[in-house]
Structure 1
Amino acid sequence: MEESIRYNDFAGFLAKQFPFKVQKISVNAGFTCPNRDGTKGYGGCTYCNNQTFNPAYCHTDKSVAIQLEEGKTFFAHKYPQMKYLAYFQAYTNTYGEQEKLVRMYEEALQVKDVVGLVIGTRPDCMPDSLLDYLETLNRKTFLLVEYGIESTNNDTLKRINRGHTFECTADAIQRTAARGIRTGGHIILGLPRETSEMLLAQASQVSALPLTTLKLHQLQLIKGTRMAYEYEHSPEDFHLYTADEYIDLVIGYVERLRPDLVLERFVSQSPKELLIAPDWGLKNHEFSCRVRKRMRERDTWQGKYYTL
Structure 2
Amino acid sequence: MSTQLLYNDFPTFLRKYFPYKVQKISLNAGFTCPNRDGTKGWGGCTYCNNQTFNPDYCRTEKSITTQLEEGKCFFAHKYPEMKYLAYFQAYTNTYAELEGLKRKYEEALTVDGVVGLVIGTRPDCMPESLLRYLEELNKHTFLMVEYGIESTCDETLKRINRGHTYADTVEAVRRTAACGILTGGHIILGLPGETHDTMVAQAEILSDLPLATLKIHQLQLIRGTRMAHEYDEAPDGFHLFNKVEEYIDLVIDYVEHLRPDIVVERFVSQSPKDLLIAPDWGLRNYEFVARLQKRMKERGAYQGKKYRDSEKRIIFADDKLTTE
TM-score range, shorter chain: over 0.9
The structure 1 segments of at least 4 consecutive aligned residues displaced by more than 6 Å after TM superposition are: none
Counterpart for residue 166 of structure 2: 166
Taking the aligned partners of 1:141 and 1:306, their CA distance within structure 2 comes to 33
Provide structure 2 residue ranges, at least 5 long, that are not aligned to the other structure.
310-324
Contact 1:223 1:274 in 2 (8 A): yes
Q: CA deviation at 1:4?
A: 1.6
Normalization by structure 1: what TM-score?
A: 0.99
Deviation at 1:266, TM superposition (A): 0.1
The CA distance in 2 between the partners of 1:5 and 1:73, in whole Å, is 31
Please give the per-residue CA displacement for 1:275-294, whole angstroms capped at 9, x wherever unaligned. Answer: 00000001111111111111
Note if contact 1:3-1:292 (Cα within 8 Å) is conserved in structure 2. Answer: no
Matched to 1:28, the amino acid is N
- Report the Cα distance in structure 1 between the residues aligned to 2:54 and 2:152, rounded to whole angstroms: 26
Query: Which letter maps to 1:253?
Result: Y
Question: Cα deviations across residues 243-288 of structure 1 (Å, max 9, x unaligned)?
Answer: 0000000000000000000000000000110000000001111111
Q: TM-score, normalised by structure 2?
A: 0.94
Instruction: Check whether the contact 2:5–2:293 (CA below 8 A) recurs between aligned residues.
Output: no
Partner residue in 2 for 1:291: 292
Structure 1 residues 190-209: Cα deviation after superposition (integer angstroms, max 9, x where no partner): 00010111101111011111
Query: How far apart are residue 3 of structure 1 and its match?
Result: 5.8
Provide the secondary structure at the position in 2 that maps to 1:17. Answer: coil
Taking only aligned residues, the RMSD between alpha carbons, in angstroms, comes to 1.0
Counterpart residue type for residue 266 of structure 1: F
Q: Which aligned pairs between 1:58-207 and structure 2 lie closer than 5 A? A: 58-207=58-207
User: What does residue range 24-43 of structure 1 map to in structure 2 within 5 Å?
Assistant: 24-43=24-43
The equivalent residue for 1:263 is 264
Code of the residue aligned with 2:285 in structure 1: it is: N
Consecutive unaligned residues in structure 1, runs of 5 or more: none
For residue 214 of structure 1, give the secondary structure of its aligned residue in structure 2: strand
Which amino acid in 1 is paired with 2:114?
A: V
* 1:59 alignment partner, SS class: coil
Q: Which residue of 2 aligns with 1:273?
A: 274
Residues 3 and 282 (structure 1), Cα distance of their counterparts in 2 relative to 1, 3 Å cut: farther
Mapped to 2, the partners of 1:294 and 1:192 lie a distance apart of: 26
Question: 8 Å contact 1:68–1:86 — kept in the other structure?
Answer: yes
CA distance in 1: counterparts of 2:4 and 2:136, whole angstroms = 34
How far apart are 1:2 and its partner, in Å? 8.1
Q: 3-state SS of the aligned residue for 2:4?
A: helix
Provide the secondary structure at the position in 2 that maps to 1:123: coil
Q: Distance in 2 between matches of 1:90 and 1:283?
A: 22
Higher helix share: 1
- 2-side partners of 1:2 and 1:274: how far apart? 35
Q: CA deviation at 1:221?
A: 0.2
State the shift of 1:16 in Å.
Answer: 1.3
